[in-house]
Amino acid sequence: MAGTLTTMQIITKGKDTYDVVIVGSGATGGWVAKVLAEAGMQVALLEAGHRTTEAEFTEHLRPFDLKYRGYSPEIRRDRPIQSMKYACRESNFRWFVDDIRNPYTYPDDKPFQWTRGRLLGGRTLTWGRQSYRLSKIDFAAASHDGYGSDWPVTYEEMVPYYEAVERYVGISGEPLGLMQFPDSVMQPPMGMTCGEKHFRDQINARFGRNVTIGRAAVLTQPLNGRQACHSCGPCEHGCVTHSYFASPWTTVADAEKSGNCSVVTNAVVSHVTTDRDTGLASGVAYVDRVTRAAREARAKIVVLSASSLESTRILLNSGEGFCNSSGVLGHYVMDHMFGGVSGVLPVREDPKWVGPPQRPNGLYLPRYMNVDRPHTEGMIRGFGAQMRNASLYGSPAAISRIPGFGASFKRAVVDSKDSWRFFIGTSSECLARYENYIRLDPEVKDAWGIPALRMNVTWGDNEMRLFRHSADEGEEMLRAAGAEDIQKITQPRWPGGATHEVGSARMGNDPRKSVLNRWNQAHDLKNLFVTDGAAFVSIGCVNPTLTMMALAKRAADHIVDTARRGEVA
């Protein structure tokens, strides 16, 4: 909203006091900071890591430029969990947390993979950039099939916020006009390889499905001073042209440009503080990551955008029963279940060039299951699929198995059929279940003395049925496209492996069954907001970040509107 606030001017009383303190500078925290600072509110944006600079970007480095050729022993030694993520490599591993200093626990029979980035921008520096809206049947999934709860907001209510985010972020893709896969405001789509076109044409014609290019937060046209992607890759190492969306060079930069946002780096937040007289939130306590000094940021409004599980960790550590009159804080954790199948298509490219550029995107198959009916063979909800025709530069695992050296090795790579393998990576919806929860570990703490999380998350029966069904469907599609040497993934990734973890502080209209109201505002504490994925009621089967940003924009607009009327605190 235009204009400057005059109703919440702060008088400091011996300590710095802000209108709003925001914890987390990633996809959602950046949006909240931008909206509030541009509206004239005095904002403190706290980030647990350091401020990134372009000097750290390594997207143009090749393996032979690195000391250990991409296999640094330091990664697996200090980051055994983070190194499980494809994006964590020798050239950027310091963007991911040190697992030894940042522990979490889980039962031996319930492993969990938690990928975390502590740096200005968080995981927007290393995310996969696939950007999709949830649909009408996602926001009202319980009404569709009878399981769980509907969201307290509708798709129609979310459309203006989706559109605002998409116009600013820059999403490339093609419209399809599908109810279950709603179109975005999009820039022109990226092109496809010959193998991808072959697969798309065969599947769309034979099955009546809608294989398309992925919708990615990567520019195909210049936008707000950012340049179109030149396909240098890999994006998760940074981008000197700012072609993909990351908060440091977009939302956070705008917030700072307003003159109303103070960024505080190396601020490891432990808990929300409260005012003894009013019972309201008074700010947050944090530890300086470098000096270990205990500090406090005071504000009239507290916004947690530290990532789904980290925000809930802060709430759990803020006191017994804090923001938990419902008893559901920490519960209903969800992630996408990844599976897949691959095969060698009969179409291969003519490799004129085997190095960069590489397109930062793949194909996408929208959900087609249980759209017109609530269930199929006892399964509810559905799955989507991200697909890619593995080219020479996109199949390092295949190349690593090829013997040889020099010219003979290069020839063997070009001739290898496995280097041209087509992969269908399925993403099945995880149901929101109370028994999937996180809590504070009573014994384990991080390097700053803050209690660590203990995960208790498993896949349910419906997820396992979707996992097997999606692999069978993928195999059928590959065979229809003429693929050979078909291979299935037989075991799903651990929960958390998709890096799409959401839930644990769900939204809802009923304070007895939810932590937050429809504005991402705590039922129990009117000046506390949680604006990241913790608020999710259900996860759908599409990547969640676009919805997180739209919800954050909506919550921030609400804070501005109510602050103008003096109603927040």
| Rounded distance between C-alpha atoms, residue 219 and residue 216, angstroms | 8
Q: Which residues contact 186 (CB under 8 A, 6 or more apart)?
A: 166, 171, 172, 173, 174, 175, 215
- The per-residue pLDDT for range 427-467, each reduced to its tens digit, is 999 999 999 999 999 999 999 999 999 999 999 999 999 99
User: Do 443 and 521 fall into the same domain?
Assistant: yes
CATH code: domain of residue 59: 3.50.50.60
Q: What is the pLDDT of residue 567?
A: 84
User: Do 405 and 285 fall into the same domain?
Assistant: no
Task: Grade residue 24 by pLDDT with cuts at 50, 70 and 90.
Answer: very high
* pLDDT exceeds 60 at position 356: no
User: Do 296 and 347 fall into the same domain?
Assistant: no
Task: Grade residue 11 by pLDDT with cuts at 50, 70 and 90.
Answer: very low
Q: Which residues contact 436 (CB under 8 A, 6 or more apart)?
A: 331, 332, 333, 334, 456, 457, 458, 495, 503
| Rounded distance between C-alpha atoms, residue 29 and residue 546, angstroms | 13
| Rounded distance between C-alpha atoms, residue 398 and residue 222, angstroms | 35
* pLDDT exceeds 90 at position 59: no
Domain that includes residue 111, residue range: 17-129+245-334+434-458+498-564
User: Do 211 and 278 fall into the same domain?
Assistant: no
- pLDDT, average across residues 15-28: 91
- Please name which of 226, 21, 252, 304 lies closest in space to residue 120, comparing C-alpha atoms: 252
Least confident of 33-47, 81-95, 401-415, 485-499: 401-415
| Rounded distance between C-alpha atoms, residue 294 and residue 393, angstroms | 47
Give a yes or no: residue 239 inside a domain: no
- What percent of the chain lies above the pLDDT cut of 90? 82
- What tokens were used for 423? 């992969």
* pLDDT exceeds 60 at position 128: yes
User: Do 328 and 345 fall into the same domain?
Assistant: no
User: Do 469 and 394 fall into the same domain?
Assistant: yes
- Beta-sheet strands, E only, within 24-131: 43-46
Contact between 185 and 546 (Cβ < 8 Å): no
CA atoms in the 13 A half-sphere facing the CB of 365: 30
| Rounded distance between C-alpha atoms, residue 23 and residue 122, angstroms | 11
| Rounded distance between C-alpha atoms, residue 544 and residue 500, angstroms | 7
Task: Grade residue 392 by pLDDT with cuts at 50, 70 and 90.
Answer: very low
| Rounded distance between C-alpha atoms, residue 290 and residue 263, angstroms | 16
Task: Grade residue 5 by pLDDT with cuts at 50, 70 and 90.
Answer: very low
| Rounded distance between C-alpha atoms, residue 234 and residue 332, angstroms | 34
Give a yes or no: residue 161 inside a domain: no
User: Do 478 and 506 fall into the same domain?
Assistant: no
* pLDDT exceeds 70 at position 351: no
Counting the structural domains of the chain, the total is 2
Give a yes or no: residue 227 inside a domain: no
User: Do 363 and 475 fall into the same domain?
Assistant: yes
User: Do 479 and 342 fall into the same domain?
Assistant: yes
* pLDDT exceeds 70 at position 352: no
Give a yes or no: residue 146 inside a domain: no
User: Do 423 and 440 fall into the same domain?
Assistant: no
- The per-residue pLDDT for range 489-538, each reduced to its tens digit, is 999 999 999 999 999 999 999 999 999 999 999 999 999 999 999 999 99
User: What's the predicted TM-score (pTM) here?
Assistant: 0.94
Task: Grade residue 1 by pLDDT with cuts at 50, 70 and 90.
Answer: very low
Give a yes or no: residue 531 inside a domain: yes
User: Do 354 and 309 fall into the same domain?
Assistant: no
Task: Grade residue 420 by pLDDT with cuts at 50, 70 and 90.
Answer: confident
* pLDDT exceeds 50 at position 365: yes
* pLDDT exceeds 60 at position 381: yes
Give a yes or no: residue 473 inside a domain: yes
Give a yes or no: residue 271 inside a domain: yes
Q: Which residues contact 157 (CB under 8 A, 6 or more apart)?
A: none
3-state secondary structure of 205: helix
Q: What is the pLDDT of residue 399?
A: 65
| Rounded distance between C-alpha atoms, residue 95 and residue 117, angstroms | 6
Contact between 446 and 103 (Cβ < 8 Å): yes
* pLDDT exceeds 90 at position 407: no
| Rounded distance between C-alpha atoms, residue 236 and residue 244, angstroms | 10
User: Do 25 and 107 fall into the same domain?
Assistant: yes
